[in-house]
Amino acid sequence: MTEPVFPDKTHMPDDTDVARVLGRTMRHWDNLKAHALELNPAATEEWKYYMKKTGWTFLLRGQRRNVLFMRPTGKRRFTVSFVFGGKAVQAAEQSDLPTAVVEALRQAPQYPEGRGVSVEVSTAADVKIAKQLLAIKMAN
C-alpha cells in the first residue's frame, strides 16, 4: 500500500487540498460526489480519519447507511469504495460491470456489513464504472 496522501490527523483536507492533489481529475471527484448526492439528497459529507496507513477519507453518509468512500491516492487519481450487502453483490454479478470488478467483489472478505469493492478513478471510463456500482448500491 502506498503512503496516504493526507496523513496528518490534525489537518482535515478541504477542497483546495484535494484539488492540489487531483488536478484535472478533480472534475471526476466532483462529478461522482454530485451524482451520489443527486441519488441520495439526504446524504451528508464528512471527512474521517480511520487510521494512519490510509489517512483521511471522504465519506458520503446516508440516513441509514454509508453511500461511498473516496480517498485521493496520488497525483490525478483517487479510489472510490463501496460496501455491498448480499442483494447488491448478486445484482453486481448479473450486471455488465467489468469482469475484474465483479471478481474483486466476489473475492472480497464477507463482513457483517457486507463486501467491499474499490475502483481507482483517473478517467471518465472509471467514473462510469463507479456510477454503475453506486446505482447498484442505491437500488439494493
Please report which confidence band the pLDDT of residue 1 belongs to, taking 50, 70 and 90 as the band edges.
low
CATH of the domain at 90: 3.90.1150
pLDDT for residue 74: 86
What is the chain's percent helix, strand, coil content, to nearest 5? 40, 30, 30
Choice among 64-68, 126-130, 132-136 with the minimum mean pLDDT: 64-68
Q: Residues 40-66: pLDDT tens digits? A: 999 999 999 999 899 999 999 998 889
In this model, does residue 133 exceed pLDDT 60? yes
Smallest Cα–Cα separation from 77: which of 134, 123, 8, 128? 123
Q: Confirm if 124 and 131 have CB atoms less than 8 A apart.
A: no
Residue 88 lies in a domain: yes
Q: Which residues contact 41 (CB under 8 A, 6 or more apart)?
A: none
Domain count across the chain: 1
Residue 47 lies in a domain: yes
Domain span at 135: 15-139
